[in-house]
Amino acid sequence: MLAMEPLFIGSHVAADFLNTTLTPRGEAIELIGDGASFVAWLVKAQLLDGEEAARLRRRFGVAALDGTAAEARKLRRWAGDWLGRWRESPRASYEAELRRLNELLGRASSFRELSVTKDGPRLVERMTIGEPGDLLGLVALEIAKLVAQEEPALLKRCAGAECTLWFLDRTKAHRRVFCSASACGNRAKVAAFRERQRG
Ligand SMILES: [Zn+2]
Q: What is the pLDDT of residues 5-62, one digit of tens each?
A: 778 999 999 999 999 998 877 788 999 999 999 999 999 999 998 999 999 999 999 9
Quick: pLDDT tens for 159-191.
988 888 999 999 999 999 999 887 788 877 788
Written out in words, the top-level CATH class of the domain with range 13-198 is: mainly alpha
**Confidence class for position 3, pLDDT limits 50, 70, 90:** low
Quick: pLDDT tens for 97-108.
999 999 999 998
Say how many Å lie between the CA of residue 117 and the centre of ligand 1: 40
Say how many Å lie between the CA of residue 62 and the centre of ligand 1: 33
Quick: pLDDT tens for 128-145.
999 999 999 999 999 999
Say how many Å lie between the CA of residue 24 and the centre of ligand 1: 8
Question: Bridge partners of 116?
Answer: 121
Say how many Å lie between the CA of residue 18 and the centre of ligand 1: 13
Say how many Å lie between the CA of residue 184 and the centre of ligand 1: 5
Mean pLDDT of 139-162: 95
Residue 1, pLDDT above cutoff 50: no
Predicted local distance difference test score (pLDDT) of residue 7? 84
